[in-house]
Amino acid sequence: MDKKQQIEELLRKLYIVESKQTVFGREIKKLRVEIEGLKNETSLKSKVEGESILKQKPIFRDIPSDFPSEAKKDKSQEKQEPIRRHKPVFEAQPKAIKEAKIHQKSSIEKFIGENVIYIIAILIIVLGVGIGVKYAIDNEMISPLTRIIFAYLVGAGLLGFAIYLKPKYEKFSAGLLSGAMAIFYFVTFMGYDFYGLFPKEMAFGLMVAFTIFTVVASLNYDRQIIAHIGLVGAYAVPFLLSDGSGKVMILFIYMTIINLGILAISIKKYWKPLYLNAFVLTWLVVLSWYGMKYNQEEHFSLTLIFSTIFFLIFYISFLAYKIRKEEMFNAGDVILMLFNSFIFYGIGFATLSTNIQTENLVGLFTLGQAIIHFGVSVVLYKNKLADRNLFYLASGLVLVFITIAVPVQLDGNWVTLIWSLQAALLFWIGRTKKVGVYESLSFPLMILATFSMLQDWGIALQVSDYLSYEYTTDKILPKTIQITPIFNVIFLTSAIFAASFFAINFINKSDKYISALQEKSSSFLNFITVVITTILLFALYLPLVVEISVYFNQLLAASKIEIMGKYDYTETFFNYDLYHYQAIWILNYTLLFFIGLGFYCIKKVENQMQIILYYLASIVILFIFMTGGLFELSELRESYISQELSKYYEIGSFNLMIRYISFGLVAGLLVTLFRLAKQDFLKFNFIPFFDFILHVSVLWLLSAELIHILNLSSNADAYKLGLSILWGVYSLFVVVLGIWKKKKYLRLGGLIWFGITLVKLFFYDIAALSTISKVIVFLSLGILLLIISFLYNKYKDKIEE
């Protein structure tokens, strides 16, 4: 039997079973209708109504009412009948829906009657007792001792009544017990604080006993309401706080007892509303008191001790439930842990930093926070407790507080070093172990490290610009800051910063490691990739720029000389050539950096957009050199020609020769751009774009060199004539090149530049030129135009092609 026949056979059997089910369903319905009719002794109409109440069964359509049984049915008939799959159709049940609505209303009513009313009743009773006691106090009807005894009797009565009703009315009993415990807490505090009827030890011994009893009762009843009213309700006591520091200590001890009760319940039950209420009320009371009543002389130690106790109580309460119940970690848990940690840290930071004797311990306190979270993360990891995200959060808090501790305790470069290494470590763990939390934490650290590095560079430049002063007992002595080139802390920090981002960039671009955040936000990761690459480029480029700037700033400061003038006043001189050398060497280094970056692009990059960005950046660098760089070179030339300060400083031929080092680097960058323009993967033709950059740069450099030579030969006034002839010759060269290479844009470019030369000649040069100069320039440009015209006529066929 093949598979097709097997399928047909199984479908046939399924059809028979469904048919049987339909027949049985009808029979059951009939029996139920008859039973209902006999019970109610009603008519056929009553039977029909009774049938609508019964639980409905599936009704299969397209099946005849007299469907034969399997025993009577012929096999040939089975094959002839089509095999169908039918879906059950359920009839409406209006009466059942009506009953459900009634039941829903009764459930709401039951909830109010059983859970809400008795709570309101207890609150009203407590309020009534309070009003009565206040009236008796105001009218001096009863003594303080009688008031306290009466209040205890009311609480004891509620407690006894609650215990009596527990077997039959557990919910109601739980509410009464909660009210009784709230009364006991309040009355004990009032008897101690208002009337002094109890010694301190006795009062808080009673509170400990009440707390223990309330904890046991809440666990026994398994009712959160007992803990809420009995423990959290006791937080009304802080509003009776007086101004004395001794009373503050009593208050904090009292709150500690309450929170220890919450800790005990949390280990067993961890009722979140209870935990949240206690958490909010505790820190709200502490922060309010700290903001309004804190006094450093009286409350310094007390604040640190009790804020630490509250922090640990809530931290342990939080961990207890997660470990016992193995509950999954969520965003609410993150918020709780962060609030608990940072409220405690904020109080501790403010307390220590405002005390002269402890302000240097703020960093150690921050590190202590990190150690606490580290201990928790180690315990969670070794014992494999709770959800692993809890371990990641604890570990993340370790790193966060270490990150905070660095700028708090350390200065300058140490901050950048540690943040850079932290960012690299976190990114490595997050990407290689696929832990999104760690990878996410590395991003803000990257930004922090970058800003810290920029600040270090800025400080280094500022220090090198000015003179520092050593303060001695009797006078101020000037001393120039000396930073050894390369072998200094700034450059070492820069190297580690660059190495960190090199590692991050390598891991980020490796196909071996896929980010755990990829599925959630791929666009964000693309943005992060751009940011990392950009930071890495600046980390590789800027350190030597800073070193060059610092080196020449120091030389400039050291070149200062003071000479007594003719009229008894002091003249100050600096070797300002050093300032121009600084600018030139920074530009030379920039050109060299871009050459290296271009060769990296040739070997590794196959992205057209990145090549376009590199081209645009290179154009900016070339433009800066052609404007600012050539100006600085001209200043060095003028200094060499004038020799104005040669009696104080050596002004040698290097003022002239340095320009050719710069020209060579410009040539190297143009070669790099040419090789990039010929890359096979490029969809856009970069050659015309490169040709434009090339010819503009070459003509600009030739013009600058012509002016340079004319100045050295004392013919500076002839630059107009020389430039016009140079531009005309170069225009001819470009036209010839365009004809030879069959490049129309070159021929048009040559003609356009020749037109610009003619406009310059007639509207700018002609007025200042002598007669001989005019003859020379007109003849030269005329001859050049004839040559261009001849070439167009001779090679017109080639040009047309």
Instruction: Read off the pLDDT of residues 387-402 as tens digits, 9 standing for 90 and up.
Output: 666 777 777 778 777 7
Q: Which residues contact 60 (CB under 8 A, 6 or more apart)?
A: 18, 19, 21, 22, 86, 88
Domain ranges of the chain: 3-91, 118-230, 244-409, 413-558
**Closest to 338 in 3D by CA, of 382, 380, 283, 288:** 283
Task: In whole angstroms, give the CA distance from residue 629 to residue 637.
Answer: 13
Q: What is the DSSP string of 354-392?
A: TSTTTGGGHHHHHHHHHHHHHHHHHHHHHHT-S-HHHHH
Task: In whole angstroms, give the CA distance from residue 538 to residue 118.
Answer: 70
Low-confidence ranges of the chain (pLDDT < 70): 1-2, 4, 37, 39-138, 140, 224-247, 266-270, 321-322, 324-333, 383-389, 409-412, 463-482, 519-520, 565-568, 716-718, 765-769, 771, 774, 777, 792-793, 795-801
**For residue 67, what is the DSSP state?**
P
Task: Round to the nearest angstrom and report the end-to-end CA distance of the chain.
Answer: 78
Cα angle 456, 458, 460; round to 5: 70
Q: Which residues contact 593 (CB under 8 A, 6 or more apart)?
A: 540, 541
In this structure, the number of other CB atoms found within 10 A of the CB of residue 317 comes to: 24
Q: Which residues contact 502 (CB under 8 A, 6 or more apart)?
A: 536, 539
Q: What is the pLDDT of residue 91?
A: 42
**Amino acid occupying residue 223:** R
**Amino acid occupying residue 487:** F
Contact 700, 626 (CB under 8 A): yes
**Closest to 275 in 3D by CA, of 266, 284, 267:** 266
Strand duo 561-564 + 570-573: pairing = antiparallel
Sign of CA dihedral 172, 174, 175, 181: positive
Task: In whole angstroms, give the CA distance from residue 257 to residue 21.
Answer: 67
Cα angle 408, 331, 516; round to 5: 85
Q: CA separation (Å) from 787 to 314, 521, 732, 794?
A: 93, 64, 8, 10
Q: Is 256 left (phi over 0), alpha (psi -120 to 50) or beta?
A: alpha
Q: What is the pLDDT of residue 243?
A: 40
Q: CA separation (Å) from 135 to 150, 189, 518?
A: 14, 20, 69
Q: 245-268 and 170-193 are packed helices; what angle lies between their axes, rounded to 10 degrees? A: 160
- With b for 16 or more beta-carbon neighbours within 10 A and e for fewer, the 442-453 pattern comes to bbebbebbbebb
Q: What is the pLDDT of residue 184?
A: 82
H or E element: which one contains 292?
helix 272-293
Q: What is the pLDDT of residue 791?
A: 72
Q: CA separation (Å) from 211 to 177, 184, 227?
A: 13, 10, 9
**Closest to 259 in 3D by CA, of 274, 246, 273, 269:** 274
Task: In whole angstroms, give the CA distance from residue 407 to residue 410.
Answer: 5
Task: In whole angstroms, give the CA distance from residue 412 to residue 417.
Answer: 9
What phi and psi values does residue 676 have, to the nearest 5 degrees?
-65, -35
Contact 590, 662 (CB under 8 A): no
Sign of CA dihedral 79, 82, 85, 91: negative
3-state helix, strand, coil in the chain (%, to 5): 80, 0, 20
C-beta contacts of 271-280 below 8 A and 24+ residues apart: 271/224, 271/227, 273/224, 273/228, 274/224, 274/227, 274/228, 274/231, 274/232, 275/314, 275/317, 275/318, 276/336, 277/228, 277/232, 278/231, 278/232, 278/235, 278/314, 279/314, 279/336, 279/339, 279/340
Q: What is the pLDDT of residue 48?
A: 45
Task: In whole angstroms, give the CA distance from residue 111 to residue 104.
Answer: 11
**For residue 139, what is the DSSP state?**
T
Q: CA separation (Å) from 763 to 491, 755, 778?
A: 54, 12, 14
Could you tell me where the DSSP H helices lie in 139-169?
Answer: 144-165
**Amino acid occupying residue 235:** Y
